[in-house]
Amino acid sequence: MKLESLVIDGFKSFADKTTIEFKDGMTGVVGPNGSGKSNIIEAIRWVLGEQSAKNLRGSKMPDVIFAGSTNRVSINRAEVSITFDNSDFYIQDNPEKITVTRRLFRDGNSEFMINQRQCRLKDITNLFMDTGLGKESFSIISQGRVAEIFNSKPEDRRSIIEEVAGVLKYKQEKHVAVRQLEETKGHLDRVSDIIFELK
């Protein structure tokens, strides 16, 4: 699954509809201080279901709507759409392209859509569960957390990398399989003992 594009319209400093296409080879976004680089990341967080205004550097959710600037009046609606290329069907039972949209009006009303069909926030959360894009995943690491990760113990850092790489799920499955093998071995030993006694 690949991040294909992001459309930001009325979100934070993006007063005008802006489309960012994540083509092959794109590795970064550069720009002067305050030009909106972090707002792009926050738009991604928000459209994927972020519910905490604090995590988006605001005090209440409508703070994400373009609040006006010296030469532009404020607007009343923020909208972000994110499109993933799912042609490898990484998210099973879903189409080759998945577009998730979130809209918020200044009066507090909000709308969520998956492929242009209205849905609940929960449907979006469920869609990305176990994909590495979930709420607590490390696919997006905020500036503050970088130092925290650098300063963490090597074992903790390793588990963060494993979670990002999707290894943790397999490690847990391996742990369950090894336990079942041990249980089975115990049962086989008991069967051997019984056979020995019956002989």
**Is residue 46 a contact point for ligand ATP (CB under 6 A)?**
no
**Strand pairing class (18-21; 77-85):** unpaired
The stretches of 119-166 forming alpha helices (DSSP H) are 121-128, 143-151, 154-165
Per-position x/- string for 115-154, each x denoting binding to ligand ATP as judged by CB under 6 A, each - no binding? ----------------------------------------
What is the spatial distance between Cα 83 and Cα 2, in angstroms, rounded to a whole number? Answer: 9
- Select the residue interacting with ligand ATP from 23, 28, 30, 34 (CB under 6 A): 34
Per-residue x/- marks for ligand ATP, 64-93, CB under 6 A?
-xxx--------------------------
Question: Is residue 18 within the footprint of ligand ATP (CB under 6 A)?
Answer: no
Out of 9, 36, 46, 101, name the contact with ligand ATP by CB under 6 A. 36
Query: Cα–chain-centroid distance for residue 39?
Result: 16
Closest distance of CB 12 from ligand ATP, Å: 4
CA-closest candidate to residue 111, choices 135, 155, 131, 81: 81
Q: Please give the helix or strand (H or E) that residue 173 lies within, else none.
A: helix 167-198
Which of these ranges, 34-42, 87-95, 149-157, 176-184, lies near ligand ATP under the rule CB under 6 A?
Answer: 34-42
3-state secondary structure 30-45: CCCCCCCHHHHHHHHH
Nearest-angstrom CA–CA distance, 135 and 108: 22
- Examine residue 37 and tell whether it contacts ligand ATP (CB under 6 A): yes
Q: Which stretch binds ligand ATP (CB under 6 A): 19-27, 28-36, 167-175, 177-185?
A: 28-36
Q: Which residues are annotated binding-site positions for ATP?
A: 32-39
